[in-house]
Amino acid sequence: MVIDAGAPYSAQAKLRQMHCQGQSTGGTMAEPTPSGCDATWMALALAEASAAASEGDVPVGCVVVSAEGRELARGRNRREVEQDPTAHAEIVAIRAAAQTHGHWRLDGATVYVTLEPCAMCAGALVNARVARVVFGAKDPKGGAIVSQFGIGVNGRLNHEFDTSGGVLADESVALLRDFFGRLRAAGEK
């Protein structure tokens, strides 16, 4: 699959949008299915994760999609680049999405992220009022949605979101293993 890392409203992005909304794309893509759309958006999040790794950050990427199926923003881990402990992919992406959307409430939005969000990010997703979170790999130690705390899904907070996990999980795990394997080989972690 070729991933367009250019402008969010490129011709390829328009085809993805039409495909996921069930419009005719001239036969260039398979018939739309929810899981197919999830994989398409997750592939973009994986491209962000790869970019994070190339900048020396943990490879986690995120894409925020509006209720209408339009990409609002992308983000990647930038903790090392910005020396900011809060610069996780989800935080970077939802901040940019709120700016694009013109409001902090991202009602109806779906967030695609390559790794199950941590407690900070899951809390931010609750506060942003997203409708759905789709993640790639589970994070048994730090994942705060399904692996540890149930943030956003357990009914204890003022907002809940739907969640789906395991979308392109193998690709997400491979990026993480490769990244940490290179760090260990270099004696850095």
Task: Kindly provide the residue ranges of all beta strands, DSSP E only, lying in the chain, ordered along the sequence.
Answer: 61-65, 71-76, 110-115, 132-137, 162-164
20: nearest Cα among 43, 46, 44, 41? 41
CB within 8 Å of 81: residues ≥ 6 apart: 55, 56, 57, 87
Catalytic pick among 48, 90, 116, 171: 90
Distance CA 8, CA 106 (A): 18
Question: Is 90 noted as a catalytic residue in this protein?
Answer: yes
Distance CA 25, CA 14 (A): 9
* Catalytic residue annotation: 90
